[in-house]
Structures are given as C-alpha cells and as structure tokens.
Amino acid sequence: MNTFDRIREGLEQAIAHASGEPLDVLIHHPAAPNVKNIRRKTGLTQEQFASRCHISVNTLRHWERGDRQPQGPAIVATGGT
C-alpha cells in the first residue's frame, strides 16, 4: 500500500467515525504522564518547565498535585506515552 492509499484509508475511517459508523480499529488512549517526575528528571524549575511546555505554572501545579491530568497534545508536550 502506497502513501496515498494509506492517507485515503485514514480519511475514509475518519469520515465513517464522524458519521457514527462502528469501526474495526484499535484506539489508543495514552496514560497520563507523571509530570512531577518528568520535570524533576529534566532539572527544570516549575517556571522553566511550564514555559517550555507553553502552559501556566498554575496548570503545572495542578498536574503535579494530581488535581488534573494533561489531555490531548499536552500529554505529548510533557513526554507522556
């Protein structure tokens, strides 16, 4: 299968999903990263880490306390898997 065919297949699946059709696909839900451990391993302060992830320090503090979890692109920005 060439690149165009893979792109077309992905678009067809996205359209089917948006239409509510059941799909035979595997959906990945990445686990929320342990942001405090990641930040500590980098040696960055909360202010430095928040700045590099383009988030507020308050958001970072919520993540580190476990009040909230990173969602969507933030999981990738913080190094989640």
Per domain, the residue ranges of the chain are 3-77
| Share of residues in the chain with pLDDT > 70 (%) | 93
Q: What is the mean pLDDT of residues 51-63?
A: 94
* Phi and psi at residue 55, to the nearest 5°: -130, 165
What does the pLDDT read at residue 38? 94
* Whether the Cβ atoms of residue 36 and residue 64 lie closer than 8 Å to each other: yes
Average pLDDT of the chain is 88
Instruction: For the domain covering 3-77, report its CATH number.
Output: 1.10.260.40
- pTM comes to 0.59
What does the pLDDT read at residue 77? 64
What does the pLDDT read at residue 29? 75
The Cα–Cα gap between 63 and 74 comes to 11
The Cα–Cα gap between 13 and 23 comes to 7
What does the pLDDT read at residue 19? 92
